[in-house]
Amino acid sequence: MSPRRRVADTALPSSVRWPGPKLGQRSGEVLAEIGITDAELTILREKGLA
């Protein structure tokens, strides 16, 4: 009986096409979606919180 093949051992091609956003890169967009105004976001950024 042969050992089971792991997913990484298959012949399927794999690659990273896009590394994703950097930490905090989309914070403004996410906070706007939950109702944070531009003025509130500015205050948060001045305090180093966003």
Q: Rounded distance, CA 47 to CA 25, Å?
A: 17
- What letter represents residue 31's amino acid? L
Is residue 42 one of the residues assigned to a domain? yes
Q: Rounded distance, CA 31 to CA 3, Å?
A: 49
At residue 49, the pLDDT reads 87
Q: Structural domain tally of the chain?
A: 1
Is residue 10 one of the residues assigned to a domain? no
pLDDT in tens, 2-47: 566 666 656 667 777 888 889 889 999 999 999 999 999 999 999 9
Q: Print the domain residue range for 49.
A: 23-50
| Full-model pTM | 0.54
Report residue 27 CA to chain centroid gap. Answer: 10
* 41 contacts 31 by C-beta, under 8 angstroms: yes
